[in-house]
Amino acid sequence: MDFSDKLVLNYPPVMPKFKIGDQVERVGSLVAEWMRSGVILRVIPNNQGLNLFNEYEVHFGNQVIAIFYESELRLAVVDPRWE
C-alpha cells in the first residue's frame, strides 16, 4: 500500500531569520569586499518549512543583486551614531 501522498509533516511555522530592509553581511573568508554587506530585498521561505533553507535576495548597493541561503548571511552590526 502506498501512503506517500498521505504523508503530512507537522513542522513549526517558518520564521525567517531576517526581514526585508535588514542590513546583512555575507559569512566567509572568501567574500569579495564589494559584495560583503547589503540589504534584504525579498524573503523566499523554504517550501518544506526548513528554516535553514530559507533564501534571501540581497542588494549590495552597486547594482548587484544575489540570492543566498540563511546560513550564508548574518545580521550586520550598525553603529547607531551613523544613522
pTM > 0.85: yes or no: no
Query: Distance (Å, rounded) from C-alpha 75 to C-alpha 64?
Result: 19
Domain 17-82 sits in CATH at: 2.30.30.30
C-alpha cell of 14?
A: 517558518
pLDDT in tens, the chain (83 residues): 555 555 555 555 556 689 999 999 998 888 888 888 999 999 998 888 777 889 999 999 878 999 999 989 999 887 677 65
Q: Say what percent of the chain tops pLDDT 90.
A: 40
Q: Which residue type, as a one-letter code, is found at position 40?
A: I
Summarised one tens digit per residue, pLDDT across range 25-45 is 998 888 888 888 999 999 998
